[in-house]
């Protein structure tokens, strides 16, 4: 055996592990075999034509190639001389084997990639379908105004709403439970910021006293009111600027950014591009921290309004519930103050007169001069008509705001209404080009869409999406990112995942499993809305009541009922688990929807109707629009017209007759007219009735199983179990250093 | 195109829905992944031959162009089966007990054929491989089984 053979070194040297190639039997050692055949053999490999071809013999001596291999990450404790000296058939076989594994590995990767993209699509489509429901409100109001022409002319009399929560001071009640023991005073300074961060990052005792919440909100609203509609940001002093996208209540991500990039200052300005709340659990803390940063560093923090800075969205997507949960005795007052901040948040920023930063995007009719000149304070919620004060409603102006907050870029040319979201537009590269030219801008930065890597370039790098909430859909679903621009406005990104230690140990497959489970849960909850319709349609195609239908039919029914535009074939195995390859057992699909975990998730969510009714201001607006002559009363006829429109726009609402019946019941004095209180009461009772009906329905369902199946199959139970046990982030004190941050430098 | 059965055309359409944009088809850099999602197993060389690119946004492949590529790749015989492969790995199995040195496999994947890079090998082993025992050996047949037994995307 050669002296330099590793086997010998191993056995001879102390401390090395004994390998199975024994020292005594030299002939069994591979490397000796290699040496025996001789160094004159050239290396061969399979060329692109599949034929073995020879490569030039390696010029390195054995010693230096040894060194080379040792340097490779130190894995090679026992390398084998690559190919040199092995017989041709062995070489061929080895290469064939390697290629085989590599092919299969790539296929394995490709399948994982497909799964990943599939899950992504599920999340996105379900999210946008929900948003679509919200946007229906906008359309409903638009229609309402259209059909009540007096309303458009005479304007909306809601003077009382104009008198903001700023002037009236509400009484604050004591809250029970842990309260953080810090005190805030005006003006807010950096030391207050440090205190706030320390308090907010704790798992417990992270609630400010309501009087300090009010303090921050009022001061912020007062200050923001003075600001123009579009912030003018400049890097003249700082030589750079940092931009963050959607945070959606992810306090851990905000703290990661502040940790990695430093607190704001004159030399370190920040632009936050909207969507601070909803979905995540720490929306209030994120919002208060951002406002405090703004108050403490007024010329270095620029806050843009996003489509979620809107009480109508908050009613649906969780922020209102968050505030209610944290301040049960004061939430109404606090929410009214939050509304005040929302309406005065500027709509965007212009950087160095060259770059526009807005939350959504723009359309082919977007006019920045117009946007600069509007009175933004009248848009308390952008899903409701603006406060009018005797002026006529300007629908074009309302649309401008919508387009800026809700639009998305698309790959193809043109500019068309955004069907997926239900509001705003999809704008193509041509729209971008003409927009930039018209306004003499270089490019646009926007947010609004979740991206796997936290950012994305589109339209020939003229539209950059930046999204700062990591783990947005589920743990490990995506990275967040923030961008820094230098004085030349060249972008540079930092990607990160917060609470990284909780996902670091997971293999790719496990991470995929978590995201997939979360996606399935979202999808199943959404499908529950159509459960009975699905059952009806499935049975139509199953005349023999076998419980099975063809794959094609199953896909067809799923799409025609849910209209989610998802790759149903790919999802078939998940949504009808344990099914064979020829047909689909649709009973399993229905059973999955009926499992406890899904039903509970549905009950936890809020529907559009919940949101509408919970939002008294919306109902008031409806009333005020209908009551065109401002008499304080509406007739049943006028109300009937409004109901027609409501029924047309809102899915799943009860029949017109039911609503009218309620209204008639409310007309206590029988004069055929309803005042605001009776109106609100009618809706409240209708909503109560609807909730009761829902509970009744759920109760019935759980006690009497559907006639078709008595027990869900094992595979359904297994899947439901997996979903309910799916890993979620453990809540603990936030540690911003626990992030996997990566600098991706310039344009990737 | 006539020789691609209707059901498979549907599968292809679904893959296009997930991976591509409507009207434009898929990016040619995803050609390999698209074929693999459809249960084919082309080598990198074959993908390049069929029109796959290395960089994004260079070329798009529409559905009609993809179908002939699909049917041709499908005809490739050299899929190799489990037994072939086990036979190859037996070469490294000195003790003939179903195990081989992990590092040898690693080396083969990194240095031979259409080599993988370190990160890919790490991912592969994390997903499919049992940890090596005290002597650095791994049971290769299980590894291959796991590698090949991924739930199929389509049947």
Per-residue pLDDT reduced to its tens digit, A69-104 = 444 444 333 334 444 444 557 677 777 777 777 877
Give me the residue from B11, B84, B115 closest to A569, CB to CB: B11
pLDDT at residue B80 in the model: 58
Residue A51 has pLDDT above 90, yes or no: no
Average pLDDT of the residues in A619-635? 75
Residue A309 has pLDDT above 50, yes or no: yes
Residue A731 has pLDDT above 70, yes or no: yes
Q: Which pLDDT band holds residue A455 (cuts at 50, 70, 90)? A: very high
Q: Which fold has domain A608-694?
A: Recoverin; domain 1 (1.10.238)
Measured between CB atoms, does A82 come within 8 Å of chain B?
A: yes
Average pLDDT of the residues in A29-47? 37
**DSSP 8-state code for residue A731:** P
Contact A172, A212 (CB under 8 A): no
Global ipTM: 0.71
Q: Which pLDDT band holds residue B1 (cuts at 50, 70, 90)? A: very low
Measured between CB atoms, does A46 come within 8 Å of chain B?
A: yes
Residue A67 has pLDDT above 60, yes or no: no
d(CA A323, CA A200): 15
d(CA A477, CA A514): 9
Q: Which pLDDT band holds residue A611 (cuts at 50, 70, 90)? A: low
Average pLDDT, chain A: 77
Judge: domain B80-147, CATH 1.10.238.10. yes
Burial class (CB in 10 A: 0-12, 13-18, 19+), A203: exposed
d(CA A240, CA A231): 16
> Which residues of chain B does A45 touch, with a Cβ-Cβ cutoff of 8 Å?
112-113
Residues A218-227 have pLDDT tens digits of 999 999 999 9
Looking at mean pLDDT, say which of A228-232, A680-684, B8-12 comes out highest: A228-232
Residue B84 has pLDDT above 50, yes or no: yes
Burial B47-63 (b: 16+ CB within 10 A, else e): beebebbeeeeebbbeb
Residue A587 has pLDDT above 50, yes or no: yes
Measured between CB atoms, does A461 come within 8 Å of chain B?
A: no
Cα-based angle A17, A23, A28 (whole degrees, multiple of 5): 115
Percent of chain A at pLDDT > 70 equals: 72
Residues A386-422 have pLDDT tens digits of 877 667 778 888 889 989 999 999 888 889 888 777 7
Residue A370 has pLDDT above 60, yes or no: yes
Average pLDDT of the residues in A506-525? 80
Residue B45 has pLDDT above 70, yes or no: yes
A21–B43 C-beta distance less than 8 A? no
Residue A660 has pLDDT above 90, yes or no: no
Residues A474-488 have pLDDT tens digits of 888 889 999 999 988
For residue A698, give both structure tokens.
């759920």
Measured between CB atoms, does A742 come within 8 Å of chain B?
A: no
Token match 């919440």: residue? A213
Q: Which pLDDT band holds residue A255 (cuts at 50, 70, 90)? A: very high
Give the β-pairing of A355-357 and A408-409. Answer: unpaired
Percent of chain A at pLDDT > 90 equals: 30
Residue A513 has pLDDT above 60, yes or no: yes
Average pLDDT of the residues in A161-184? 71
Burial A566-594 (b: 16+ CB within 10 A, else e): bbbbbbbbbbbbebeeebbbbbbbbbbbb
B10–A114 C-beta distance less than 8 A? no
Mean pLDDT lowest for which of A41-55, A312-326, A611-625?
A41-55
Looking at mean pLDDT, say which of A32-46, A300-314, A393-407 comes out highest: A300-314
Residue B49 has pLDDT above 90, yes or no: no
Give me the residue from A20, A104, A118 closest to B94, CB to CB: A20
Q: Which pLDDT band holds residue A666 (cuts at 50, 70, 90)? A: low
Measured between CB atoms, does B24 come within 8 Å of chain A?
A: yes
**Domain range list for chain B:** 4-73, 80-147
The CB density around residue A186, as the number of other CB atoms within 10 Å, is 11
B101–A73 C-beta distance less than 8 A? no
Give me the residue from B44, B88, B118 closest to A93, CB to CB: B88
Average pLDDT of the residues in B10-34? 80
Question: Which CATH number does the domain A149-162+185-498 belong to among 3.60.21.10, 3.40.50.300, 3.30.420.10, 1.10.10.10?
Answer: 3.60.21.10
Average pLDDT of the residues in B138-151? 74
Q: Would you say the pTM of this structure is higher than 0.90?
A: no
Burial class (CB in 10 A: 0-12, 13-18, 19+), B4: middle
Give the β-pairing of B60-61 and B26-27. Answer: antiparallel
B136–A77 C-beta distance less than 8 A? yes
Mean pLDDT lowest for which of A637-641, B84-88, B149-153?
B149-153
The residues in A 123-142 lying below 8 A from B, measured between CB atoms, are: none
Average pLDDT of the residues in A692-701? 70
Residue B27 has pLDDT above 80, yes or no: yes
Cα-based angle A345, A349, A352 (whole degrees, multiple of 5): 150
Residue A232 has pLDDT above 90, yes or no: yes
Residue A153 has pLDDT above 70, yes or no: no
Residue B95 has pLDDT above 90, yes or no: no
B104–A117 C-beta distance less than 8 A? no
Average pLDDT of the residues in A582-586? 81
d(CA A1, CA A31): 8
| CA-derived radius of gyration, chain B | 18
Handedness of CA A240, A246, A247, A249 (dihedral sign): positive
Mean pLDDT lowest for which of A170-174, A179-183, A676-680, A700-704?
A700-704
pLDDT at residue A88 in the model: 57
Q: Which pLDDT band holds residue A61 (cuts at 50, 70, 90)? A: very low
**Domain range list for chain A:** 1-12+20-30+58-121, 149-162+185-498, 608-694
Q: Which pLDDT band holds residue A709 (cuts at 50, 70, 90)? A: very low
For residue A90, give both structure tokens.
């062995």
Q: Which pLDDT band holds residue A656 (cuts at 50, 70, 90)? A: low
For residue A134, give both structure tokens.
């919200």
Give me the residue from A73, A110, A507 closest to B118, CB to CB: A73
Contact A91, A53 (CB under 8 A): no
Q: Which pLDDT band holds residue A24 (cuts at 50, 70, 90)? A: very low
Helix axes A331-344, A319-326, angle to 10 degrees: 140
- DSSP, collapsed to helix, strand or coil, labels residue B88 as helix
Residue A367 has pLDDT above 90, yes or no: yes
Q: Which pLDDT band holds residue A331 (cuts at 50, 70, 90)? A: confident
Question: Which CATH number does the domain B4-73 belong to among 1.10.238.10, 3.50.50.60, 3.40.630.10, 1.10.357.10?
Answer: 1.10.238.10
Measured between CB atoms, does A90 come within 8 Å of chain B?
A: yes
Average pLDDT of the residues in A658-665? 64
Residues of A assigned a catalytic role: 308
Using CA coordinates, name the residue in chain A closest to B40: A107
Measured between CB atoms, does A100 come within 8 Å of chain B?
A: yes
């Amino acid at each position: 055996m050669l002296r330099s053979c590793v086997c010998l070194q191993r056995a001879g040297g102390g401390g090395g592990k004994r390998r199975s190639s024994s020292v005594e039997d030299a002939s069994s050692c591979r490397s000796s075999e290699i040496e025996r055949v001789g160094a004159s053999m050239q290396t061969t490999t399979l060329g692109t034509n599949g034929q073995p071809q020879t490569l030039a013999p390696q010029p390195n001596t054995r010693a230096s190639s040894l060194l080379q291999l040792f340097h490779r990450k130190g894995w090679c404790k026992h390398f084998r001389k690559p190919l040199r000296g092995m017989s041709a058939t062995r070489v061929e076989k080895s290469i064939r084997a390697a290629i085989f594994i590599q092919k299969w590995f790539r296929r394995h990767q490709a399948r994982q990639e497909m799964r990943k993209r599939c899950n992504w699509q599920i999340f996105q489509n379900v999210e946008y379908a929900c948003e679509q429901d919200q946007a229906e409100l906008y359309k409903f109001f638009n229609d309402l105004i259209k059909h009540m022409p007096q309303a458009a002319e005479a304007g909306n009399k809601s003077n009382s709403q104009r008198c903001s929560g700023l002037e009236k001071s509400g009484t604050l009640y004591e809250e029970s439970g842990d309260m953080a023991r810090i005190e805030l005073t005006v003006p807010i300074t950096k030391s207050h910021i440090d205190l706030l961060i320390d308090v907010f990052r704790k798992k417990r005792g992270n609630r400010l006293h309501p009087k300090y919440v009010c303090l921050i909100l009022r001061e912020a609203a007062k200050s923001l009111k003075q600001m123009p509609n579009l912030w003018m940001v400049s890097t003249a002093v700082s030589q750079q600027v940092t931009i963050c996208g959607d945070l959606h209540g992810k306090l851990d991500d905000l703290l990661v950014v502040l940790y990695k990039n430093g607190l704001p200052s004159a030399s370190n300005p920040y632009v936050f591009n909207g969507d601070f709340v909803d979905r995540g659990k720490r929306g209030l803390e994120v919002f208060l921290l951002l406002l405090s940063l703004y108050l403490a560093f007024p010329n270095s923090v620029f806050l843009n309004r996003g489509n979620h800075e809107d009480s109508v969205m908050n009613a649906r997507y969780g922020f209102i519930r968050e505030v209610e949960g944290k301040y049960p005795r004061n939430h109404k007052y606090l929410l009214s103050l939050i509304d005040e901040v929302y309406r005065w948040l500027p709509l965007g920023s212009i950087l160095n007169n060259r770059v526009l930063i807005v939350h959504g995007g723009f359309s082919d009719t977007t006019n920045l001069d117009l946007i600069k000149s509007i009175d933004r304070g009248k848009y308390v919620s952008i899903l409701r008509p603006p406060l009018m004060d005797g002026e006529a409603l300007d629908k074009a102006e309302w649309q401008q705001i919508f387009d800026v907050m809700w639009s998305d870029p698309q790959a193809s040319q043109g500019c068309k209404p955004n069907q997926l979201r239900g509001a705003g537009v999809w704008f193509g590269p041509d729209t971008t080009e003409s927009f930039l030219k018209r306004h003499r801008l270089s490019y646009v930065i926007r947010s609004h869409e979740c991206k796997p890597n936290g950012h994305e370039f589109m339209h020939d790098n003229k539209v950059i999406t930046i999204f700062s909430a990591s783990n947005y859909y589920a743990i490990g679903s995506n990275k967040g990112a923030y961008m820094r621009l230098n004085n030349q406005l060249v972008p540079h990104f930092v990607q990160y995942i917060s609470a990284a230690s909780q996902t670091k140990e997971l293999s790719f497959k496990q991470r995929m499993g978590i995201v997939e489970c979360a996606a399935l849960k979202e999808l199943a909850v959404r499908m529950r809305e159509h459960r009975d319709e699905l059952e009806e349609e499935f049975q139509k195609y199953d005349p023999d009541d076998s419980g099975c239908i063809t794959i094609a039919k199953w896909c067809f029914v799923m799409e025609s009922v849910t209209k989610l535009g998802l790759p149903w074939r790919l999802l078939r195995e998940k949504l009808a688990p344990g099914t064979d390859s020829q047909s689909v057992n649709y009973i399993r699909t229905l059973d999955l929807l009926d499992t406890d975990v899904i039903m509970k998730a549905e009950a936890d969510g809020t529907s559009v109707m919940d949101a509408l009714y919970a939002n008294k201001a919306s109902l008031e607006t409806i009333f005020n629009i209908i009551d065109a002559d401002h008499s304080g009363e509406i007739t049943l006829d006028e109300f009937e017209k409004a109901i027609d429109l409501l029924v047309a726009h809102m899915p799943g609402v009860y029949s017109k007759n039911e609503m009218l019946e309620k209204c008639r019941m409310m007309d206590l004095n029988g004069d055929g007219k309803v005042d605001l209180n009776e109106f609100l009461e009618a809706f409240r009772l209708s909503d109560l009735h609807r909730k009761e009906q829902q509970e009744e329905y759920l109760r019935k369902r759980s006690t009497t199983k559907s006639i078709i199946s008595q027990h869900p199959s094992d595979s359904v139970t297994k899947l439901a179990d997996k979903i309910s046990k799916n890993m979620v982030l453990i809540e603990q004190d936030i540690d911003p250093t626990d992030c996997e941050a990566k600098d991706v430098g310039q344009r990737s | 195109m006539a020789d691609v059965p209707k059901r498979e055309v549907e599968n292809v359409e679904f893959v296009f829905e997930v991976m591509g944009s409507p009207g434009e088809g898929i990016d040619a850099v995803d050609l390999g992944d698209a074929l693999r999602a459809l249960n084919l197993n082309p080598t990198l060389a074959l993908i390049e031959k069929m029109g796959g690119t290395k960089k994004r946004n260079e070329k798009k492949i529409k559905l009609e162009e993809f179908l002939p590529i699909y049917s041709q790749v499908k005809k490739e015989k050299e899929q190799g089966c489990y037994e072939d492969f086990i036979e190859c790995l037996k070469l490294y199995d000195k003790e003939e007990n179903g195990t081989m040195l992990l590092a040898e496999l690693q080396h083969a994947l990194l240095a031979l054929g259409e080599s993988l890079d370190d990160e890919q090998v790490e991912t592969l082993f994390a997903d499919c491989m049992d940890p090596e025992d005290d002597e650095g050996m791994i049971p290769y047949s299980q590894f291959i089984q796991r590698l090949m037994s991924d739930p199929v995307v389509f049947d």
